[in-house]
Chains A and B, each alone.
Chain A
Amino acid sequence: MTEQEYILARRSEPWREELRKSVKAKERGERPRVHMPELDAEYRSHSLKEEVNLGLSADQAVFEAGRCLDCANPTCMEGCPVGIQIPSFIKNIERGDFLEAAKVLKETSALPAVCGRVCPQEKQCEAKCIYIQKMKKEPVAIGYLERFAADYERESGQVSMPEMAPANGIKIAAVGSGPAGLAFAGDMAKLGYDVTVFEALHEIGGVLKYGIPEFRLPNKIVDVEIDVLRKMGVKFVNNCIVGKTISREDLLEEGYKGIFAASGAGLPNFMNIPGENLIGVMSCNEFLTRVNLMDASNPESDTPVQMGKKVAVIGAGNTAMDAVRTAKRLGAEKAYIVYRRSEEEMPARIEEVKHAKEEGIIFHTLHNPLRYEGDDKGHVQRMLLQKMELGEPDASGRRKPVPIEGATEWFDVDQVIVSVGVSPNPLIPSTFKGLEVSKWGTIVVNQDTMQSALPEVYAGGDIVRGGATVILAMGDGRKAAVAMDKAIQYKE
């Protein structure tokens, strides 16, 4: 059965036909999109661990699910990197079978509760929804509904296992336990493989644990989804750095037939400007790792973290928003985003920018730091900012920031968090002899199969893309699993 035939077969199940007829399409189209309830902005800006978005109620979810027209050709699915059967799960919500909706999600996604929270749906599934494409209306809240179904299942205590093929005994390794590695592991386990995930840190989850804060993605939600993988037979080895603790040769010797490299883009970029090594200037990775992974703001934790009163975060991606909102929650009186372009060019999700503004974050756009100065103890005290204006669009289509000559100003800060991008982790590229590596340090793969120049090594996520998104990493993991399975079956 082709994908299209499968979608149509499901769509023509009697209950779905009946459900479609139960409400007129016109009436569905007139319903307003649901609003996500959230914590009060003033309250939440002091609460590090409480999630901002509260999730939909069952009534809200059923009503919103009713907006979905159950298209015969669901374009929304084209926008989902892991190919979730979107109308199928949504129609299950509409008929009130929330557990079945969660099951549908798990057919293709190892981490639905995560994706429902952190995916930029406005650029993916929801951007392809017929409401926005053809009807100039707000798209169906697919992300909210995904989150609802996954949360409902978790809270019900009746977490289902996906359908599993019989064990085939073939050993497969995933390097890195971030979203790409977890998605790959889930799919390979479903296909019957004996999967082991190797993780360098002491916690499983990659950026989901050390990067994305609790107020956006609670760790306990990530852990429940990882536990499902464990119950599916996936093994996790933490504190093990492939390339250092064990080599590719060790893995092959131990009988691993395939390796999926998903070691991410964890290396922080700095701007290499004077004073950047002063105390109080740090990468967003260091700041977020201390707070999220090491729980540094908890007095019981041995790990310290600086908590500035006047904190500037340099950059305007999602990581910058996470860092600045975290700084505010740790007690910053003034927390700034300093960005060299204007608000329109910000790469962060619109929702994150909106949340940040509501929480009192001050946006200082069209400014770029030139240097930092410290006090006599080497602690950062102020920074010199260059004022910018927007010039012509660059290759990526964004208008290029140009310095306004002579327009500089000093700005008082006591903490600076540098969030100007990340680079691929060089560990796998430098220790796997024979890999093809791009000039940016990413692993070169066949785009269709994710296979690298080493036949048994596949790669995906940020180590292939540079800094990208959770869902694209997961999509790569799925693609690699399909291709690796085919290659191994062909050989057997």
Chain B
Amino acid sequence: MNKIVDKEYFSENVVKFEVEAPLIARSRKAGHFVIVRVGEKGERIPLTIAASDVAKGTITIVIQAVGASSKKICALNIGDYITDVVGPLGQATHIENYGTVICAGGGVGIAPMLPIIEAMKKAGNKVISVIAARTKDLVILEEQVAEYSDEVIVMTDDGSYGQKGLITNGIETVINREKVDLCVTIGPAIMMKFVSLLTKKYEIPTMASLNTIMVDGTGMCGACRITVGGKTKFVCVDGPEFNAHEVDFDEMLMRLKAYN
């Protein structure tokens, strides 16, 4: 059982939790995720680790209330327990000094992007963060992103904050302006698909962190499988990050609807 020690609302439906998990806090790296389950009848769902505090023995997860399970988690309060938290899972992000890196995070995807931004900056990269949301209220973690970014570009669909337009508009402005060595993207599958199409046009290497349906998260079921470069991969053990230009996003979008 993992105790919730802090809870903060980023917006009406986006909640940040700090959860006791000392072993995970110590061994996680940027890009890793956990599987959580709430209640004896709860389902196992994957959530990326947004931060950790080794001294306090806690990890931070950010959840958007979209379905039954995420709503159930978001309803928990400080002092409540998450029944099961297991991790760190997946392959850590490959961090090195690439040069100039665009970190493109959409919606709640900005939270799992945060540790990557920090690690990329610490590895000596010039980091340009492009963060996007439908509207002003859904722009999260801007200050924390700014702390490790050389520049932050905020995009909103309705222009209520930052610039009006899609994440791809923001990315393209940067590409037209300077040489970009790598793009990392995390967000809704449809957004990552269009980021990938854009950067492919400009031949900029791009990594996408995929968020598929999962059950165990340890490679034993294949619920999370997708096609990358013509081969079947399990997102939970081979990923969650893949070369975005090789990912079959249409298949991924289709498989995400399996239980709708």
Chain A 206-252 residues near chain B, CB threshold 8 A: 238-241, 244-247
Contacting pair A202 B86 (CB below 8 A): yes
A7, CB-defined interface residue at 8 Å: no
**A473 → chain B, closest Cβ, in Å?**
16
| Contact B218–A200 (Cβ < 8 Å) | yes
Contact in complex: B41, A244 (CB < 8 Å): no
For A290, what are the chain B residues with a Cβ–Cβ distance below 8 Å? 215
Query: Does A201 have its Cβ within 8 Å of any Cβ on chain B?
Result: yes
Most chain-A Cβ atoms within 10 A of its Cβ — which of B24, B215, B254, B259?
B215
Q: A302-B68, A303-B44 are in contact. Are A279 and B258 (CB under 8 A)?
A: yes
Partner-binding segment picked from B9-17, B95-103, B181-189, B223-231: B223-231
- What per-residue 1/0 map shows which CB atoms of A298-332 lie under 8 Å from chain B? 10111110100000000000000000000000000
Residues of A within 8 A of B258 (CB): 279-280, 306
| Residues of chain B with a CB closer than 8 A to A280's CB | 258
Closest beta carbon of chain B to A346's beta carbon, Å: 24
Query: A50: CB under 8 A from chain B?
Result: no
Cβ–Cβ contact A239 & B85, under 8 A:
yes
Given the contacts A244-B27, A244-B87, A289-B215, A378 and B255 also touching, CB distance less than 8 Å = yes
Count class of interface residues, chain B? 35 or more
Q: Is the CB of A378 within 8 A of B254?
A: yes
Q: In the complex, which residues of chain A have a beta carbon less than 8 angstroms from the beta carbon of B72? A: 302
Chain A residues with Cβ below 8 Å from B222 are 268, 270, 282-283, 285-286
Contact A245 B86 (CB under 8 A): yes
Among B23, B68, B84, B88, max chain A CB count under 10 A is at B23
Q: Mark A128-171, 1 if CB is under 8 A from B, else 0.
A: 00000000000000000000000000000000000000000000
Q: Which of B39, B42, B225, B257 has the most CB of A within 10 A?
A: B225
Alpha-carbon separation in the docked complex, A425 to B217 (Å): 13
Measured between C-beta atoms, what is the minimum distance from B235 to chain A in Å?
12
Secondary structure call for the A interface: loop
B87:A245 contact, CB within 8 angstroms: yes
Which secondary structure dominates chain B's binding surface? mixed
Given contacts A302-B68, A302-B69, whether A279 and B254 have CB atoms under 8 Å apart is: yes
Alpha-carbon separation in the docked complex, A246 to B86 (Å): 11
When distances are taken between beta carbons in the complex, the residues of chain B under 8 Å from A202 are 37, 44, 83-84, 86
CA distance A238 to B37 in the complex (A): 13
B216 within 8 A of A: yes
Closest to B258 in A: A279
List B contacts of A396 (CB < 8 A): none
Hey, which chain B residues are within 8 Å of A302, CB to CB? Answer: 39, 41-43, 68-69, 72
Point out the residues of chain B lying under 8 angstroms from A286, CB to CB.
Answer: 215, 221-223
Q: What separation, in Å, do the CA atoms of A150 and B96 have in the docked complex? A: 58
Inter-chain CA distance A279–B259, complex, in Å, is 9
- Is A12 interfacial (CB 8 A cutoff)? no
Q: Is the CB of A272 within 8 A of B44?
A: no
Residue B219 lies at the interface, judged by CB distance under 8 Å to chain A: yes
Which B residue sits closest to A296, measured CB to CB? B43
The one of A240, A277, A289 in contact with B221, judged by C-beta atoms closer than 8 angstroms, is A289
CB distance from A315 to the nearest CB of B (A): 14
Find chain B residues with CB under 8 A from A201 CB. Answer: 86, 216, 218
A282 & B23 in contact (Cβ 8 Å cutoff): no
Within 8 A of A (CB), among B184-239: 215-216, 218-223, 225-227, 232, 237
Is the Cβ of A377 less than 8 Å from the Cβ of B88?
no
B114 at interface, CB cutoff 8 A: no
Per the bound structure, the CA–CA distance linking A377 and B253 in Å amounts to 11
Whether A244 contacts B232 in the complex (CB less than 8 A), given A202-B83, A279-B255, A377-B257, comes out as no
Tell me if B220 and A425 are in contact (CB < 8 A): yes
| Residue in A245, A300, A426 whose CB lies within 8 Å of B41 | A300
Query: Chain A interface: which size bin?
Result: 35 or more
Select the residue from A239, A246, A276, A295 with max chain B CB neighbours within 10 A. Answer: A239
User: In whole angstroms, how far apart are the Cα atoms of A427 and B85 in the complex?
Assistant: 19
Is the C-beta of A267 less than 8 angstroms from some C-beta in chain B? yes
What residues of B have a CB within 8 angstroms of the CB of A270 in the complex?
A: 222, 225, 232
Chain A nearest CB: distance from B258 CB in Å? 5
Question: Are B37 and A244 touching (Cβ within 8 A)?
Answer: no
Give complex CA distance A128, B137 in Å.
Answer: 73
| Chain B residue contacts of A245, Cβ below 8 A | 23-24, 27, 86-88
A294 touches which one: B43, B87, B227 (CB < 8 A)? B43
Question: Bound state CA distance, A289 and B39, in angstroms?
Answer: 17
Is the Cβ of B219 less than 8 Å from the Cβ of A266?
yes
Q: B150 → chain A, closest Cβ, in Å? A: 33
Nearest chain A CB to B78's CB is how many angstroms away?
21
- For residue A426, which residues in chain B have a CB less than 8 angstroms away from its CB? 219, 237
* Given contact pairs A202-B37, A276-B232, A295-B41, A425 touches B219 in the complex (Cβ within 8 A): yes
Q: Binary interface profile of B, 29-71, with partner A (CB < 8 Å = 1, else 0)? A: 0000000010101111000000000000000000000001100
List chain A residues, Cβ under 8 A from B23. Answer: 240, 245-246
Given contacts A268-B221, A286-B222, A289-B215, contact A239 B86 (CB under 8 A): yes
A179–chain B nearest beta-carbon distance, Å: 16
User: Cβ of B251 < 8 Å from any Cβ of A?
Assistant: yes
CA distance A306 to B84 in the complex (A): 24
| Shortest CB distance A487–B (Å) | 28
State A282–B216 Cα separation when bound (angstroms). Answer: 14
**5 additional A-B residue pairs with CB within 8 Å, beyond A200-B218, A290-B215, A294-B215:** A202-B37, A277-B227, A302-B72, A303-B43, A306-B259
19 examples of A-B residue contacts, CB within 8 angstroms:
A200-B218, A201-B86, A202-B44, A202-B86, A238-B84, A239-B84, A244-B88, A245-B24, A245-B27, A277-B227, A279-B255, A280-B258, A283-B222, A286-B221, A302-B69, A306-B258, A378-B255, A426-B219, A426-B237
Q: What residues make up the interface of B, taking CB atoms closer than 8 Å to A? A: 23-24, 27, 37, 39, 41-44, 68-69, 72, 83-89, 215-216, 218-223, 225-227, 232, 237, 251, 254-255, 257-259
- Please list the 5 inter-chain residue pairs (A to B) with the smallest Cβ-Cβ separation, ordered nearest first: A266-B220, A286-B221, A378-B254, A302-B43, A303-B43
**Which residues of A are at the interface with B, using a C-beta cutoff of 8 A?**
200-202, 238-241, 244-247, 266-268, 270, 272, 276-277, 279-280, 282-283, 285-286, 289-290, 294-295, 298, 300-304, 306, 377-378, 425-427
